[in-house]
Amino acid sequence: MWTRVELKANAKMILKRTYWMCFLATLILGFLDGSGAGTSAVNITRQVSPNQHQELEHHLYSLPYEFLLAVSGILLAIGVIAVVVTLFVSYPVMVGGKRFFMASREEDPNLGDLFFCFGSGAYLHTIKTVFLMNLYTALWSMLFFIPGIIKHYEYFFVPYLLSENPKMDTRRAFELSREMSYGRKWDMFVLDLSFIGWYFLGSLCFGIGVLFVVPYYQAVTAELYAASRAYVLQTHKSDLWELPGFVK
């Protein structure tokens, strides 16, 4: 049905025409989904010595209860805001990102596709489906690491399906994603592993180089969906009414 070599070759062909717009799109996606958050906190923590930790604990214990309560309230509010942003902004934009890369295969890239879900007429439905996808994956991961990985690849195509048909029934999106990934989960896992070298090279330049790798990875996974989509159409497990394409 597909090979890594074919997917990567096709992606490189597309990126010759679209790379810098795809690069800009991945920057926007990275900002809106909060990727990279927490990096500064990690760096600061590494710079604090054990003695400084003890001093910090001493100061915390000496703070008034009211102040600690206020800080806890602020942190709780930040956590709630983060959850709201993830649900109502990050999830729809992530699905829009899939549409952007799929549509870019056939026409000039349009950054407006990133926000496709907000005017699709299925905004809340998209949020619900992506939330359930992440929830199911997390629950399987709690059972054991391997089942979580399997479910990740089993549900891998759900956001792509929603980007093509945002009104697709949730159960049907999961069912069709299973069909697309059936017998190919290991190949998909190996495909992801094949990018480790690229990400390692990108990380050598203070991590900045990774930003230039992400468009390539997104373009390759778009080719993966295109090949899997063709398979379910050819085997009559879906049709053009259900999967109408990305260019109107």
Is residue 241 situated within a structural domain?
Answer: no
Is residue 242 situated within a structural domain?
Answer: no
- pLDDT over 70 percentage in the chain: 86
What is the structure's pLDDT at 44?
Answer: 35
Is residue 244 situated within a structural domain?
Answer: no
**Per-residue model confidence as pLDDT tens digits over 178-189:** 999 999 999 999
* Mean pLDDT for all residues in the chain: 88
Task: Give the pLDDT band (50/70/90) at residue 206.
Answer: confident
Is residue 96 situated within a structural domain?
Answer: yes
**Per-residue model confidence as pLDDT tens digits over 50-60:** 555 555 555 55
Is the per-residue pLDDT at 34 higher than 60? no
What is the structure's pLDDT at 52?
Answer: 53
- pLDDT over 90 percentage in the chain: 69
Is residue 245 situated within a structural domain?
Answer: no
What is the structure's pLDDT at 46?
Answer: 42
Task: Give the pLDDT band (50/70/90) at residue 65.
Answer: low
Is the per-residue pLDDT at 42 higher than 90? no
**pLDDT average, residue stretch 199-226:** 91
The model's pTM: 0.85
Q: What is the rounded distance in angstroms from the CA atom of residue 131 to the CA atom of residue 158?
A: 11
Q: Give the count of beta carbons closer than 10 Å to the beta carbon of residue 131.
A: 14
Is the per-residue pLDDT at 83 higher than 80? yes
**pLDDT average, residue stretch 123-146:** 93
Q: Is-contact 154 178, C-beta < 8 A?
A: yes
Is residue 127 situated within a structural domain?
Answer: yes
What is the structure's pLDDT at 61?
Answer: 56
Give the long-range contacts of residues 225-229, CB within 8 A, separation 24 or more: 225/98, 225/102, 225/157, 225/160, 225/180, 226/10, 226/102, 226/105, 227/1, 227/2, 227/6, 227/7, 228/1, 228/2, 228/157, 228/180, 228/181, 228/184, 229/160, 229/164, 229/180
What is the structure's pLDDT at 238?
Answer: 97
Sequence-distant (6+) residues with CB within 8 A of 129 are 158, 162, 170, 173
Is residue 239 situated within a structural domain?
Answer: no
How many domains, the chain? 1
Structural domain harbouring 108: 4-234
Looking up tokens 């690229």 gives 198
DSSP class per residue in 128-144: HHHHHHHHHHHHHHHH-
Is residue 26 situated within a structural domain?
Answer: yes
